């Protein structure tokens, strides 16, 4: 286990990494890509669930886990970040998460999560599939003077809030997708399994 400082433009923030377990290739994203596979390579290729250890993800941090060949972002949101979410509704395309394809039915806005502090979303832009950047700091950005933290897609400048809800007036048409997941316990999330199946 190690911490590294990621230089993110004019900000710096700590991100967590874990030791590599298994031999899967790393998908290039701007955040640590944690390999915590339990299944075999063959099972992984078939899309088996992935259990993520979130015990070392500190408040305000994000880590990325591979699932079905996709990066799944897991964010430990701060209370301040969560408090920004309701007020963003007028600026969003689908503030109430009404597009059913973008989340399981147990995921509701504005936090779009099972436990409010933990956001779990597929890190693939709904425009043309780039990997958005995690930009959690609240404050003016060149692309938004009223930025409350979220995700910015560098390909065509789509923006999402810290619930993965897409802003109006950008190319991306839908919110980031929330995959099925459930909490195994307080420090482990199983991605790919609904709560009613996983207990």
Asked whether the beta carbons of 193 and 179 are under 8 A apart, the reply is no
User: By C-beta, is 123 or 136 nearer to ligand FES?
Assistant: 123
Q: Does 29 bind ligand FES (CB under 6 A)?
A: no
Say how many residues touch ligand FES, by CB under 6 A: 11
Q: Does 122 bind ligand FES (CB under 6 A)?
A: no
Distance, CA of 76 to CA of 51 (rounded, Å)? 16
Residues 6+ apart with CB under 8 A from 8: 30, 133, 135
Which one of 51-59, 71-79, 126-134, 174-182 is the stretch in contact with ligand FES (CB under 6 A)?
A: 126-134
Q: Indicate the SS3 state at residue 84.
A: helix
Which one of 1-9, 47-55, 84-92, 128-136 is the stretch in contact with ligand FES (CB under 6 A)?
A: 128-136
For residue 173, the number of C-alpha atoms closer than 13 Å in the C-beta half-sphere is 4
Distance, CA of 3 to CA of 17 (rounded, Å)? 6
Identified binder of ligand FES from the candidate list 30, 48, 82, 155, rule CB under 6 A: 155
Which one of 19-27, 78-86, 87-95, 120-128 is the stretch in contact with ligand FES (CB under 6 A)?
A: 120-128
**Least distance in angstroms from the C-beta of 187 to ligand FES:** 32
Q: Does 176 bind ligand FES (CB under 6 A)?
A: no
For residue 193, the number of C-alpha atoms closer than 13 Å in the C-beta half-sphere is 16
Strand pairing partners for 185? 188
Q: Does 30 bind ligand FES (CB under 6 A)?
A: no
Q: Does 177 bind ligand FES (CB under 6 A)?
A: no
- Cβ-based neighbour number of residue 91 at 10 Å: 16
Asked whether the beta carbons of 151 and 30 are under 8 A apart, the reply is no
Q: Does 172 bind ligand FES (CB under 6 A)?
A: yes
Distance, CA of 4 to CA of 17 (rounded, Å)? 7
Q: Does 119 bind ligand FES (CB under 6 A)?
A: no
Q: Does 158 bind ligand FES (CB under 6 A)?
A: yes
Residues lying near ligand FES in the complex (CB under 6 A) are found at 125, 127-130, 153, 155-156, 158, 171-172
């Amino acid at each position: 286990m190690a911490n590294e400082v990621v230089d993110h433009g004019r900000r710096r923030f700590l991100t967590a990494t874990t030791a590599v377990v298994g031999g899967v290739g790393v998908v290039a994203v701007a955040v640590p890509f944690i390999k915590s596979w339990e299944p075999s390579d063959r099972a992984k290729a078939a899309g088996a669930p992935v259990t993520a250890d979130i015990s070392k993800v500190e408040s305000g941090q994000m880590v990325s886990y591979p699932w079905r060949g996709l990066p799944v972002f897991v964010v430990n949101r701060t209370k301040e970040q969560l408090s920004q979410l309701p007020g963003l509704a007028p600026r969003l395309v689908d503030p109430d998460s009404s597009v059913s394809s973008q989340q399981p039915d147990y995921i509701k806005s504005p936090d779009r999560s099972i436990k409010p502090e933990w956001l779990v979303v597929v890190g693939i832009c709904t425009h043309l599939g780039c990997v958005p950047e995690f930009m959690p700091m609240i404050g003016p950005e060149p692309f938004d003077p009223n930025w409350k933290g979220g995700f910015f897609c560098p390909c065509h400048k789509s923006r999402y809030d810290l619930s993965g809800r897409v802003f109006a007036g950008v190319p991306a048409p839908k919110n980031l997708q929330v995959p099925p997941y459930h909490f195994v316990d307080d420090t482990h999330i199983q991605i790919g399994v609904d709560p009613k199946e996983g207990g």
